[in-house]
Amino acid sequence: MLKKADTQLIKLLNEIQLLNLIRDEGPISRIELSRRTEMSKVAVFDIINRLIDAGFVVDIGKGQSTSKGGKKPSLVKLNPGNHFVIGIELKRTEVRIAVADIEATIMDKTRMAFEVGENPEKVIKKIFRKIDNLLHKNGIAEEKLVSIGIGIPGLVNYQDERLRFADTLKDWDKISIGQYFEKRYKVPAIIENDVNTITIGESILGAAKEYADIVTIWIGEGLGSGIIIRNQLFQGLSGGAGEIGYLEIDSYCNPRQLHYLFNGQKYFGDVLANRNLKESLLPHIKAPQNRPKEDLTLRQMIKIAEYTSGECQEVLKEYTSLLEILIMNVVKVLNPQVIVLSGKIFDYSKYIYKTLKQCVEDSTTHLPYLSAHIVKGKLRDEAGLRGAIAMALEIIFEAKMSNHSISGFK
């Protein structure tokens, strides 16, 4: 005989299965849901009624009859106007915040700057005010919030919802970040490393929706990667899986052969970071007339370098070659279906992306397995924020994130 806990789990899993199908295929009929899931019609009708009562699903009326004629089926779809999530992307000196419905549509967003080293509790209270303003502005009651997703740089201690380590956020490892938000808004708060958050976003809402085995490589202030294996985020023993920025340069190549990028750095993350590429290009860039080259942005420098010959183009070649070494090692160790390249570097430079894609394809022709697809991230500058939203929505759509049935969550 099934124990009560077992029946509750089955109930939850069935709700999750139906909700995912409604999200992906809706509007859809109850009869079709029964056929697709191989659940009984009685079970499907019962679950859909519960989800409608709870406000997650809405009945939108009759659809078309089948080719055989007969009664028109009643269709259901997600109810986007009844439950909402908050996505938060926390950086070294800035926070981005968005409120989204359960179809992942952003209703509104805002941002907030703070000082380096500012007291984290004060910053969190400022974030609360920003969230409250967003909710009020859009007429959303706090009771309609389902969850909060937070992407943050550093290693996350998942047991107590705090940072284990972060170079860029002083003293944030001393507080339980998630508990602050859970206490204030009475909903679950999911904390995740920023690159893992981007990876979740690209896997659910972006460039890797069709894949189960994914590696995202992100370059910005530093370098990191996120790993999804068989649709499950791989975090590692202490949350450190994917920290490829800490791989040591001299283990993979002779740093003295890096004539432009190397300046005594130890790690790949220091050499490939945006700031180092900009500093490496600066001495070789010819700025437009009447403008100091020091005022050029990284994007402008890359565009100049791509369309001129000489040493500035050699900098891009050296950069791409070093990145190829890194990616090829990821391919050989993990053999993912797709590698998503995320970060401004890949948005700015067609040369880096196209050359890297071709180099990896050429290098893997000699390997005894299929090569990974190389794609650019689709979410671009909103990758972290949309990833936080996708992460928050997993409370609804992924059973592993919740210990309660959805219809009875509140």
Mind spelling out the 3-state secondary structure of 83-146? Answer: CEEEEEEECCCEEEEEEEECCCCEEEEEEEECCCCCCHHHHHHHHHHHHHHHHHHCCCCHHHEE
Q: Work out the pLDDT band at 364, boundaries 50, 70, 90.
A: confident
Tell me, yes or no, if the two domains 84-202+384-408 and 209-377 fold the same way.
yes
Whole-number pLDDT of residue 112:
95
Q: DSSP state, 66?
A: B
- In the chain, % of residues over pLDDT 70: 92
Domain ranges of the chain: 4-78, 84-202+384-408, 209-377
The CATH class, in words, for 209-377 is: alpha beta
Residue 59 clears pLDDT 80, i.e. is over it = yes
Secondary structure class of 219 (helix, strand, coil): strand
Q: How far apart are CA 379 and CA 343, in angstroms?
A: 10
Which range of 70-74, 248-252, 289-293, 366-370 scores highest in mean pLDDT? It is: 248-252
Q: Does domain 4-78 have CATH number 1.10.10.10?
A: yes
Residue 323 near residue 277 (C-beta atoms within 8 A): no
The predicted pLDDT at position 267 comes to 95
| CA–CA separation, 145 and 187 (whole Å) | 7
- The architecture of the domain spanning 84-202+384-408 is 2-Layer Sandwich (3.30)
Q: Check whether 156 has a pLDDT greater than 80.
A: yes
Phi and psi, residue 95, nearest 5°:
-125, 135
| Residue 69: band (very low, low, confident or very high) from pLDDT cuts 50, 70, 90 | low
- Inform me whether the pLDDT recorded for 115 exceeds 80: yes
Strands 214-219 and 155-157: unpaired
